[in-house]
Amino acid sequence: MSILKYAAVAFCLVSTPALADDLVALSTTATSITGDISFDDFEIVFENGKKLVFDELIADNFIVNGKKVPASVYSVKGTANPKLLNGNRLCGTSPVTYLASWLDDDVTMIAVFETQDAPQSDEDMCALYTYVYP
């Protein structure tokens, strides 16, 4: 095998990093607090450049309005509660502890939590933000 063929095989075996999804704020809440976002399995970056870094993915499903849906539930690293657009914060004065994301048709839903225990459903969310792909 030539060196070029080895290089091509090696290139194919190297995993590429996950690219963030760029999402446009849809709800009034998202428009006025977060603005547009970039979101991936490692962090969420808000329009003003502030971010929440995820510690780990803790669940792949979630209860929304009493129905189990495919979702990503993340624990948030540290005690982040960034100031976003117009000095707003995601929920209030407490640090954000968890974030859940799921699709509802073509709309990305993001629920934010300030709870000590990992959320199982949307019941304890402190805020809900909605986004769409551009």
Q: Is residue 6 in some structural domain?
A: no
CA distance 45 to 128: 16
Q: What total of structural domains would you count in the chain? A: 1
- Res. 64: pLDDT tops 50: yes
Residue 109 has pLDDT above 70, yes or no: yes
pLDDT of residue 12: 40
Residue 64: HSE in the Cβ half-sphere, 13 Å Cα cutoff: 16
Of all residues in the chain, the percent with pLDDT exceeding 70 is: 86
- Is 93 domain-assigned? yes
- pLDDT tops 60 at residue 111: yes
Three-point CA angle 14, 57, 17, nearest 5°: 20
**Residue 71 falls inside a structural domain:** yes
Domain membership flag for residue 31 = yes
Residue 1 lies in a domain: no
Averaged pLDDT of the chain = 89
The boundaries of the domain holding residue 93 are: 18-132
Q: Full-prediction pTM beyond 0.75? A: yes
H-run or E-run covering 56: strand 51-64
- Tell me, yes or no, whether 123 lies in a domain: yes
In a domain, 116, yes or no: yes
